[in-house]
Amino acid sequence: MFKKILIANRGEIACRVIQTARKMGILTVAVYSEADCDSLHVELADEGVCIGPAASKESYLVIDKIIAACKQTGAEAVHPGYGFLSENQEFSRRLEEEGIIFIGPKHYSVGQMGDKIASKKLANEAKVNTIPGYADAIDTAEQAVEIAKGIGYPVMIKASAGGGGKGLRVAFDDKECFEGFTSCRNEAKTAFGDDRILIEKYVLEPRHIEIQVLGDAHGNTVYLHERECSIQRRHQKVIEEAPSPFLDPATRKAMGEQAVALAKAVNYQSAGTVEFVVGADKSFYFLEMNTRLQVEHPVTEMITGLDLVEQMIRVAAGEKLAFKQEDLKINGWAMECRINAEDPFRGFLPSTGRLVKFQPPVAVEGQVRVDTGVYDGGEISMYYDSMIAKLIVHGATREQAISRMRGALNAFVIRGISSNIPFQSALMQHPRFHSGNFNTGFIAEEYPKGFDASMVPHDDPALLISVAAFVHRRYIDRAAKVSGQLAGHERKVGDDWVVLRDGEQHLVNATPVTGGYLIAYKGEKYEIVSNWRLGQPIMHGTCNGEEFTLQLERRGIRYRLFHWGAQVDLTVLTAHAAALLALMPEKAPPDLSKFLLSPMPGLLREVSVKEGQEVKAGEKLAVIEAMKMENILKADQDCKVRKLVAKSGESLSVDQVIIEFE
């Protein structure tokens, strides 16, 4: 077994590998960019080596720097994590030449299966069902359009070296194909250093189901069942679960055996994932093979009891698999939510900056798990992907797993930046998600015009009203106890209050009871009992004996409550104060219609117009790059450019003016 390994990655997955290595008694080396010098993975590792500037292409993607760090520290092996160099054939080959063990498949397996074009040809040769398409690299956007016409729309345009939803578009006509090819190529070159693109038929109403495989150097290969990954937004996975609510045992077995056959065809030695697109009739087609550890590997670990990172390390060290296919049973149900730094109420635009508060839910062995690479007070950088953490739960049934996930999301505190927790909570409550009757088009179909606060269902508004009254009464009761009050003129606290929500007045009565307050509202009684203390961001308690968990934050005279993904601002006042507040004039928001504002922090890659230019609605105005994704800003209406305020290559902050119109 290795004495020391280097992790050629950052963030959550680097911390995850360090955790297992420590359990196995293996020393770890972290590599980091200048932007990551204070990152959690650097703190957790036994040693750290700085490998360059913030940009990935100058640090995490430079093979020579990784090899030099191995030699400097005496690391015997390298775990690549996911992304960066994890599926780079040249990287694994160079390590082998230097006598350093690559904790992953052999370079020839990476080359054959990590390349989407080569893997599709190999799958055809192995008589694995594949989707119709053009399996050679495409040189121009014009050629891409002609190929797409031949295959028939819709088509999927994707980077050969791609992954994680980057370098991938679906086109329904020639225009979308032309633009999609150009964007995919640019994203692929930036993210992977490889701009080859392929096109294939897009299967309508598909499910994305993947099979986890594991092989050793002694000819043993098994499948660890499936993961359901159909809940996606812009081709990036949002929620993953294991097993799939769609598969029956016969289909599961057929897919698993086909995945194993494919892995054996390339002498696959490590953990890998064979992805399938599955039709409504349970027909399945090979999509691609990821020759690395997947982001969503924890759900497989939860239902099998195996540590996949440990298995990868043991296989790389030459050990045999300690189990056979018949030993691998499915235990219960697991789900994972990817908690990303993005604002679901602003079109999921990236959100970067300081984590003013980061308090994940309490981990419970076998029930709730949090994998993360950040910490309270840390920073979310614009240079890397948007993942803050992975929230994983396990239950005996799918219903129990969903219930645990809802509770864990309620208790996940993130302040300072926006996160997609409200969106995840809404999905967890969606009837169609509960039914298991969904496909990869679920989010686009259910939220065709985007996502807003009104789409976060909250079927118990009385709970929020009652909690606001409870919290305010607790603040007031403490204030009333301040010492030094003039005798006979002490603060008297009444029981009648007005709770304001969205301009509506809700009359409540709050009287003290043991451990809390009894709230009378609309003829009903709500006994709120909690040991919550002033200033705590999480409130655990009971309402009429039923347990609840929610987040709250005091913002001036308002209380902001977070529950089941809903964010509600409530103000609690006396009747007299509420009457006076109603007389206050409202400040009109400024007119920003004559400006193009940056919707996110990022790098201004391109300004597509000139001063004095007439612009039609829908035309491209600018391109902003953030978290390895290109974001195209288009004109909402016909207009004329008056002034270009920002220049190409400039770093932008949120709401910074880019263009001024006449």
Tokens of 207: 């499910």
Question: Is the distance from CB of 220 to CB of 321 less than 8 angstroms?
Answer: yes
What does the block give as tokens for 186?
């640019």
Distance of alpha carbon 211 from alpha carbon 256, whole angstroms: 6
* C-alpha R_g of the chain: 27
Inter-CA distances, 323 with 21, 213, 313, 505, Å = 21, 13, 16, 64
Give the list of residues 6+ apart from residue 47 with CB closer than 8 angstroms, or none: 27, 28, 29, 30, 73
DSSP label of 493: P
What is the residue whose two structure tokens read 């039709």?
279
Beta-bridge mates of residue 272: 213
CB 403 within 8 A of CB 394: no
Tell me if residue 288 is catalytic: yes
Query: Which residue is associated with the tokens 């498949």?
Result: 105
List 76, 87, 176, 288, catalytic entry: 288
Q: List, in sequence order, every residue forming a beta bridge with 334; answer none if it has no partner.
A: 242, 394
Q: How far apart are CA 40 and CA 23, in angstroms?
A: 18
Give Cα 173 distance to the centre of its chain: 29
Q: How far is CA 637 from the centre of its chain?
A: 32
Q: Residue 361: CB partners within 8 Å, gap ≥ 6?
A: 368, 370, 391, 407, 408, 411, 412
* Cα–Cα distance for residue pair 69/49, rounded to 1 Å: 6
| C-alpha–C-alpha distance, residues 119 and 116, integer Å | 5
Nearest to 655 by CA among 601, 587, 590, 594: 601
Question: Which residues are identified as catalytic?
Answer: 288
